[in-house]
Structure 1
Amino acid sequence: MKRVLRATGKQGWGLAYFAMQAVAGLAWWTLVFLQPSVRAATLGSLDPIAVAALDVPLFVLCSALAACGIRAAAEVATGWTALVAAALAVYATFTSEAGLGVLMMIAATACSGLALCLVLLGRVPTDWIIRGPFAFRSAASSRPASAHVSATIGQMILFWGFFLGAVPLVISWLERRWMVYLPLPQSVATAGAVILMLASILGVASAVTMSSRGRGTPLPSAMPNRLVIAGPYRWVRNPMAVAGIAQGVGVGLILGSWLVVAYAMIGSLVWNYAVRPLEEADLENRFGAEFRRYRSSVSCWVPRVGRN
């Protein structure tokens, strides 16, 4: 017997998304069969009839049933969307076809996953991020400040090398391989280099200030023992996040990759809506009124005029 959910609160947003996805999927398939250009951009040389035989019932129909509150249909639609995105990415990487289709399905996979969480749980379980090795813990206060600074610099080298080096290079390569690259003027690369340099200076200054004064590191497993309100932290509450996002944008501009810029901006949304609330809840729990005063007087992203 099928389990039918009644929309309550945020579950309604999840059901609404599946309804929109069903309509969008039906409209897309209509264009695939009517417009050769749409078919080529999203499916490449794949046989549309063979693909539709599976995708229409598993994506369009299941999304429609999910919108009616049928739990199993929501699970099937989400799983199928992820499978298609992965398969299409492999196909596009080997053939340089259907790149636009890959981007569409990746976006649909992310949105379907969020909608499924809302439908089944009534929320997006962001608290899972800080479980296990990523749970918030204070750094060992007995260690000297120099040890925390050294650990922080090591973490920065590792994280910058991965998130600002390896990942953007892979994204940029795939962007060209999937034929979704957009040529940008050379001046964009120059602007990106300036942004990267300034953001890196901010990132280093913020990290050193946090580790030396707070006696901890940026990692959740070794967080500062003191609330830091000095250096860049006098102007914004999260200067390292501001620096990291700006660095990502700078790298994207240097590579001439709009997808890398999008990657940086999506990262900012994930951090702001998933990570930041958890981090600030932990800070309030540990530092109480001191952190609440700091939060009320210092902005998260943009410095307030007249504040210091």
Structure 2
Amino acid sequence: MSWGRVYFAIQAIAGAAWWAAVFVFPPVRGATLGSLDPVVIAILDIPLFVVGSALAASGLKAAAVATTAWTLIVTVALGVYATMTGEAGWGVLLMSVSAGGSLLALSLTLIGRVPTEWIIAGPFGFRPADMRARPAAHLMLTALEIVIFWGLFLGVIPLVLSGLELRWGLGIPFPAAARPVGVVVLVFASALGLWSAAVMSRIGGGTPLPAAMPNRLVIAGPYRVVRNPMALASIAQGVAVGLLLSSWLVVLYAISGALLWNYAVRPHEERDLEARFGDEFRRYRAAVRCWWPRLRPYVPAPARDDGQYALGG
């Protein structure tokens, strides 16, 4: 049995258990369905979600498509209902997890893998920066990227998540030390991100953007102690913003971003770097870890040409 079918089997069992709890325990019904009539919802959801997941687990691909589509529809509809009424917040959260899991399981069921290459398609495909551009142009583009990405991923999205968390009644009290710790982490992580971006742009002849990647493998500054300091800084920034907002959903969002980048994006990025920089990158990858800094900075072997090496993000 494939992992996709295993997931659908687990989802069928979990769905049946949840519906049993809805009818037996009023607190579960209130937390996940609010004031919605459970009988009306069950008439549709049990066949399409529970039975559909069971049929998908048996290998029926049409059932996998149908139950995934239904899960997505319910997630969106329940999200709108929870936002309008302030009820059923935990139901939205559970259905969001189910929707993500169903999409992954559907990919495994239909094509036998998760098509992570879609993430780097089109404008997000890996391409070296224009070597004819002046260093100042790379710096300006890097600065613009920082403003846009930090504003979106560390400002707009966390504020929306934090607001939904409160509206849906999912807030959890944070200790008093959370905000001071968040300030400290945010300052240091932001400094690391700016330093890393500057080194990449100045020495690498490119930017952190996938469509304008460095032309040289630069092993300098923070890249001598950790392979992806910008990714490390971004995750730490996200967690820090979550602490500042007292939002566990934002903290979870940051951790989820780390997992997405590590398992979906990083393999493609490293294959690109290996194809372009060969043995030099392989030696660097073997000596410097992706997430855990070295105690002693890595010193690369003498370069054969211009002596400069840079690693993207």
Q: Same fold (TM over 0.5)?
A: yes
The alignment of Structure 1 onto Structure 2 pairs a total of residues equal to: 298
Q: Which residue of 1 aligns with 2:248?
A: 258
Q: How does 1:27-38 map to 2 (within 5 A)?
A: 27-38=17-28
Instruction: Give the counterpart of 1:150 among 125, 131, 140.
Output: 140
Whether 1:15 aligns to 2:24 is: no
Task: For residue 135 of structure 1, report the CA deviation from its aligned partner.
Answer: 1.1
For residues 227-277 of structure 1, the C-alpha deviation after alignment (integer angstroms, 9 at most, x for no partner) is 010000001110000000000000000000000000000000000000000
1:86 correspondence with 2:72: no
- Determine the C-alpha separation between the residues in 2 that align with 1:30 and 1:185: 35
Alignment equivalent of 1:172, drawn from 162, 176, 183: 162
**Displacement of 1:185:** 2.3
Match of 2:301 in 1: none
* 1:47 corresponding residue in structure 2: 37
Structure 1 counterpart of 2:193:
203
1:224 and 2:251 matched: no
CA-CA distance at 1:134 after TM superposition: 1.1
After superposition, the C-alpha distances for 1:37-64 in whole angstroms (9 at most, x for unaligned) are 0000000000000000000000000000
Select which of 186, 190, 211 maps to 2:180.
Answer: 190
Cα offset for 1:307?
4.5
Residue in 2 aligned with 1:215?
A: 205
Residue 133 (structure 1) aligns with: 123
Equivalent residue for 1:268? Answer: 258
Taking every aligned residue pair, what percent have the same amino acid on both sides? 60
SS of 2:63's partner is helix
Residue of structure 1 in register with 2:304 after alignment: none
CA deviation vs aligned residue, 1:203-233 (integer Å, no higher than 9, x gap): 0000000001001011111000000100000
Q: Aligned pair 1:97/2:107, yes or no?
A: no
CA distance in 2 between partners of 1:194 and 1:244 (Å):
14
Unaligned runs of 5+ in 2: 299-313
Amino acid at match of 1:87: A
**1:66 aligned partner:** 56
Cα distance in structure 2, aligned partners of 1:85 and 1:189? 32
Unaligned stretches of 5+ in structure 1? 1-6
TM-score (norm 1): 0.96
Distance 2:256 2:280 in 1: 31
- How far 1:184 sits from its partner (Å)? 1.1
Q: Equivalents in 2 of 1:117, 1:212: separation in Å?
A: 41
Whole-Å separation in 1 of the counterparts to 2:239 and 2:168: 21
Amino acid corresponding to residue 248 of structure 2 in structure 1: W
Which runs of 4 or more aligned residues in structure 1 lie more than 6 Å from their structure 2 counterparts after TM superposition? none
Counterpart Cα distance in 2 of 1:160 and 1:304: 27
Letter in structure 1 aligned against 2:163: W
Which residue among 72, 97, 119 is the counterpart of 1:107? 97
* TM-superposed deviation, 1:143: 1.1
**What is the CA-CA distance between 1:142 and the residue it aligns to?**
1.0
* Alpha-carbon distance between aligned partners in 2 of 1:178 and 1:220, rounded to the nearest angstrom: 36
SS, match of residue 236 in structure 1: coil
Deviations 1:279-301 (A, max 9, x none): 00000011111110110011000
Tell me if 1:121 matches 2:111: yes
**In the TM superposition, what is the alpha-carbon distance from 1:118 to its structure 2 partner?**
0.6
2:160 maps to a residue whose letter is: V
TM-score (structure 2 length as normaliser): 0.94
CA RMSD across the alignment: 0.7
1:238 aligned onto 2:228: yes
Q: Are 2:288 and 1:298 equivalent residues in the alignment?
A: yes
1:252 and 1:145 map into 2 onto residues whose CA distance is: 35
Aligned to 2:277: 287
Query: Partners in 1 of 2:252 and 2:125 — Cα distance?
Result: 28
What amino acid is the match of 1:284? E
Check conservation: 2:225, 2:295, Cα contact below 8 A: no
Question: How far apart in 2 are the matches of 1:162 and 1:245?
Answer: 14
Classify the secondary structure of the residue corresponding to 1:288: helix
Indicate if the aligned counterparts of 2:225 and 2:296 stay in contact, CA closer than 8 A: no
